[in-house]
Structures are given as structure tokens and as C-alpha cells.
Amino acid sequence: MKFFNQNKILNLSFKSQKIILIFFLLILSIGLFEALVLSPEDYLQGDAVRIMYVHVPAAWMSLGIFSFIAFLSILVFIFKNKNFILIAKSIAPSGFIFNIIALVTGSIWGKPTWGTWWAWDARITSMLILALFYLMYLMAWRIFENKNYVLKVTSLIAIFGSINVPIVKFSVDWWSTLHQPASVNLISETTIHSSMLIPLCIMTAAFVLFSLLIFLMKYNTELIKIKNKGLDRL
Amino acid sequence: MYGRKVKLRILFLVALISSIILTIFLILKSLEENVVYFLSPTEVKSLNELTQDKIRIGGMVKENSIDISSEKINFVITDFNNEINVMYSGLVPNLFQENKGVVAEGFLEDKNYFKAEKILAKHDENYMPPEIKEKLGEK
């Protein structure tokens, strides 16, 4: 069974890459200008608050992408859909990078505000575990060469790791942690002033576009690899 | 609709995921006191015996309780039910202020006195520019 016409997808994604790149650069520069120049400093943290405009979207992206990979992996595991596994494989690297960015920027923020680079609290530790799951996922793709085997191993790693995602999200509510609870809430009140929320949203949009761009590039590479092998699909 | 194998795989996944969730839940439940980063003054008061180990206590810095003399800083951590006196000598983070969150790491002398070795400021979830804070303060 053939799911898509690959030549069509290749053409389409090559064209859309340029458009997305332009949009990404545009929104990133607006976001950075808002975040670094226009937005006010925080009453308590001062300029350290500006780290948040990178830290928070990066953390959101890493959690979102991992959930997406896990969702695709469940479908792959059950229905053996080989197109989904390629999507999951191609989106994983940007999720990992965002996870590392969240950890590093959090550490840089922690030193001037908390007074420490690192704390073994539930939020930070579970975020580190998420990074390790990303690492395992990406490494599994390189280690196992048997196609059927790599499919099972990677999707099981993603499904295992997805249990950690709600732990990351709710760790600040379930346990006392050094990390503060969420400021941006869909259900309860958002405790971040609108002058700071707007740049945060713009930066998030920029990060989404960046992930999309990297994803399309990776996905194209995978499709070309398959094409060169003379196969229809993985 | 779907093949037998597909149903088997769904069942396998459901069993696998529920068993892992249960296992993780049990582990976290039994490790609860290690998962929490700090204890509140109320939790310290309700300890059965005084622990000799290094612990962390967190809460709010009580208003007008910071007393700085030469190199020593004394203050009171409160959770608005119970209070603990903290003695500390050393640097405090910039965000260490009255009515703000704090986490102190150190040893209990008794249930009311805590000798801290390290002070961490806990930031809350509120982000706002200084002007808004002033307006809120006036109200």
C-alpha cells in the first residue's frame, strides 16, 4: 500500500521550506525585538526575566514534540504505519535541541534568581529525564539497523517516555519544588502581565516555525534516502 | 474491522502502559519525601523525631523578621501556620526579600531553630512590570 506520492511531497516541501524560512526569520526578529527591547523588566527579577522568552517556549516545544512523537509511535506500533515513523524520526532532533535549550537557559536564569545553577527538584529532574529519553530515541535510530527492530524499539522508547510528560507538567503542582508553578494557564488565571505575554507568544510562534523548518529538511532527507535505495517507502 | 494482530498489539500496549504507570506511581508514592524539594514549617513540626540529616525548609520570609548583624542573618520562615527561626551566615541571592519565597538548606537544631548552610530564593509565578507592581501595592 502506498500512502503518498513522494515526488509530489518532495516538491511541495522544498517550496514551502523557503516560505517558512522567511516567516520564521520575520517572526523571530519581531519576537526578539519585543522580548529584548520593548517588553518591560520584571519588578523582582529585573532583566533576568528576558531569559524566560526563550526558556518557556523551548520547554513547551520539547514537551509538545515528545507528546507528538509518542502519539505517532502508538499508531506506528499498532498499525505499522511507516510514514508516521518517518515523521516522528524527523521531528525528534528539534525537540531534543529545545529540551537542552530549556535546561541550559533555566540554569542561567536560576543562578541570579534562585542562587543556584542546578537543583534536584521534581521539575528539573523530570526535564532531565525527558532529555535522556530524547537521547535514547535518537541513538536507537543509529544503533539498530534491522528495520523492523528499529521501528519497535524507537516507538517503545517514545511510548515509555511519554509517561514522563505529565510528570514534567504537573511536578510543580504535585510536589513542593524550587521551580515556580505555571504562569500561563488555560483554565485558571494567567499570572503574567500582557506586556510580557505577547512577546512570549511571538517567540513560541517562531519556535514552532523553526521546528517545522527543521522537520521538513529532515523529512526530505529521509525521503531522498529511501528514493535512492530504489524503494517506495521505508 | 482490524486484524487480530492489531487488536493484540493494542491490548499489549494498554497492558504495558498501565503497568508502567502503576509502577511509577508506586515508586513516586513511596519516595514522596525524597521527591519533595523542601518541607514546610508545619511539616517540620509534625516530624516524629528530630532528623540529623541535611534537610531543606521552604516557605515565606516573614515580614520584618530579617535581622542582619555583622555577618549573620537571622530570619523567620513561615507558612502562615507555623514558623521556624533560621540562622545563616553567608551570601543570600538577590531575590531574598521579606514576603517572598525562600528555601533554606541545613540542619535542624530543634523544632524551632534551623541552622542554614545555603539560602535559595524561590520565585513565584507572577510576572509583571514594576509600574503594575506599584499600582497593586497602592491598593
* A122 in B contact zone (CB under 8 Å): yes
How many other C-beta atoms lie within 10 A of the C-beta of residue A229? 9
Give backbone dihedrals phi and psi of B31, rounded to 5 degrees, phi first: -100, 10
**Section B99-103 average pLDDT:** 90
Alpha-carbon span B132 to B139, nearest angstrom? 11
* A124 in B contact zone (CB under 8 Å): no
The answer on B12 and B45 residing in a single domain is no
CB contact under 8 A, A42 and B128: yes
Predicted pLDDT of residue A6? 67
The answer to whether position B112 is within a domain reads yes
| B28, B103, B123 member nearest A45 (Cβ) | B123
Predicted pLDDT of residue B96? 87
The answer to whether position B80 is within a domain reads yes
Q: pLDDT of B53-88, one tens digit each?
A: 888 999 999 888 888 887 788 999 998 888 899 999
Beta-sheet pairing, B67-69 with B72-78: antiparallel
Alpha-carbon span A153 to A77, nearest angstrom? 10
The answer on B18 and B42 residing in a single domain is no
Contacts of A187 (CB under 8 A, 6+ apart): none
Q: How far is CA A181 from CA A41, A170, A172, A175, B124, in A?
A: 20, 9, 5, 10, 7
Alpha-carbon span A219 to B69, nearest angstrom? 63
SS3 at position B108: strand
The answer on B98 and B77 residing in a single domain is yes
The answer to whether position B56 is within a domain reads yes
Name which of A124, A137, A36 is nearest A94 in CA terms.
A137
Structural contact between residues A97 and A217, judged by C-beta atoms closer than 8 angstroms: no
Grid cell listed for A85: 515513523
* B135 in A contact zone (CB under 8 Å): no
The answer to whether position B115 is within a domain reads yes
**In the 3-class helix/strand/coil scheme, how is B19-62 assigned residue by residue?**
HHHHHHHHHHHHCHHHHCCCECHHHHHCCCCCCCCCEEEEEEEC
Alpha-carbon span A209 to A204, nearest angstrom? 9
User: How many Cα atoms within 13 Å fall on the side-chain side of residue A148?
Assistant: 1
Strand partners, B57: B39, B104
The answer on B45 and B20 residing in a single domain is no
Predicted pLDDT of residue B138? 63
Predicted pLDDT of residue A234? 59
The answer to whether position B92 is within a domain reads yes
Residues in chain A: 234
* A201 in B contact zone (CB under 8 Å): no
Grid cell listed for B22: 502503576
Please report, for the domain that includes residue B75, its CATH number. Answer: 2.40.50.140
DSSP letter (8 states) at residue A186: S
Predicted pLDDT of residue A1? 40
The answer on B103 and B54 residing in a single domain is yes
The answer on B96 and B73 residing in a single domain is yes
- For chain B, how many structural domains are there in total? 2
Structural contact between residues B106 and A19, judged by C-beta atoms closer than 8 angstroms: no
The answer on B48 and B70 residing in a single domain is yes
**Domain that residue B103 falls in:** 37-122
The answer on B101 and B51 residing in a single domain is yes
**Section B111-127 average pLDDT:** 88
Q: What is the mean pLDDT of chain B?
A: 86
CB contact under 8 A, A175 and B94: no
The answer on B91 and B28 residing in a single domain is no
Give backbone dihedrals phi and psi of A164, rounded to 5 degrees, phi first: -75, -25
* A166 in B contact zone (CB under 8 Å): no
The answer on B63 and B9 residing in a single domain is no
Q: If chain A, 234 residues long, is cut into consecutive pieces of 10 residues, what is the mean pLDDT of each piece?
A: 64 86 95 92 87 95 97 91 90 96 95 90 94 96 88 93 94 90 85 91 96 93 84 62
Grid cell listed for A227: 528514493
Grid cell listed for A93: 532532533
Contacts of A139 (CB under 8 A, 6+ apart): none
The answer on B84 and B96 residing in a single domain is yes
Q: Which of residues 54-93 of B touch A (CB under 8 A)?
A: 58, 91-93
The answer on B17 and B42 residing in a single domain is no
Q: Which of residues 140-159 of A touch B (CB under 8 A)?
A: 159
Predicted pLDDT of residue B128? 86
